[in-house]
């Protein structure tokens, strides 16, 4: 599996730990990889600094997963678009669908539980739920327009 390294160079996921994600690389990183975890952080954030070694270790133990880091100071527009209100925030994407988002510095055992849960998701069920929610939102919006 090829993934983009910072600066746009390709590398094999097995040889990389974490990768810096920017507005320019986020979409392609999520669409080109089966599982992507994102750590939203800032240099001034104490809990972010505490979580960083845990996240780095998990990335080394799970080379088949892309572990991205988004600097919320450098990528303020991206953080706003993702509705990041607290850092660190961990997000997980599987097959392009966000399947997990939670603020707070997770301990290593909790991070491993999240990773295992994301790996073991039945994506047919996830896609069916996404379609159901989209249909319900559409029906609700149509109902609002009729009133």
For 107-140, write each residue's pLDDT tens digit: 999 999 999 999 999 999 999 999 999 999 888 7
**Which tokens sit at 1?**
């599996």
Number of neighbours of residue 45 by Cβ within 10 angstroms: 18
Calpha distance 92→99 (Å, rounded): 6
Q: What angle, rounded to 10 degrees, do the helices at 108-119 and 46-61 form?
A: 50
Calpha distance 66→26 (Å, rounded): 11
Residue 7 has pLDDT above 80, yes or no: no
100-107 average pLDDT score: 96
Q: Give pLDDT tens digits for 11-36.
A: 444 445 899 999 999 999 999 999 99
- SS3 at position 25: helix
Lowest mean pLDDT among 1-10, 32-41, 93-102, 108-117: 1-10
Among 123, 105, 102, smallest CA distance to 46 is for 105
- SS3 at position 90: strand
Residue 143 has pLDDT above 80, yes or no: no
- SS3 at position 20: strand
pLDDT, position 6 = 43
Catalytic residues: 45, 48
Is the pLDDT higher at 119 or at 6? Answer: 119
CATH number for the domain running over 2-121:
3.40.30.10
**String of DSSP letters for 96-113:** TEEEEEEES---HHHHHH
pTM for the whole thing? 0.82
Q: By the 8 A CB rule, do 110 and 81 touch?
A: no
Mean pLDDT of the chain: 88
pLDDT, position 138 = 86
Number of neighbours of residue 36 by Cβ within 10 angstroms: 25
pLDDT, position 139 = 83
pLDDT, position 5 = 43
């Amino acid at each position: 599996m090829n993934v983009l390294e910072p600066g746009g160079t390709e590398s094999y996921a097995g040889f990389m730990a974490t990768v810096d994600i920017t507005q320019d690389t986020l979409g392609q990183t999520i669409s080109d990889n089966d599982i992507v975890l994102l750590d939203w952080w800032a240099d001034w954030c104490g809990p972010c600094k505490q979580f960083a070694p845990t996240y780095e270790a998990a990335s080394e133990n799970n080379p088949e997963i892309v572990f991205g880091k988004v600097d919320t100071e450098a990528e303020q527009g991206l953080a706003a678009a993702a509705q990041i209100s607290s850092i660190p925030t961990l997000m997980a994407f599987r097959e392009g669908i966000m399947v997990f988002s939670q603020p707070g510095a997770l301990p290593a055992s909790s991070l491993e539980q999240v990773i295992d849960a994301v790996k073991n998701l039945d994506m047919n069920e996830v896609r069916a739920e996404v379609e159901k929610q989209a249909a319900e939102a559409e029906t609700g919006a149509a109902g609002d327009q009729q009133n």
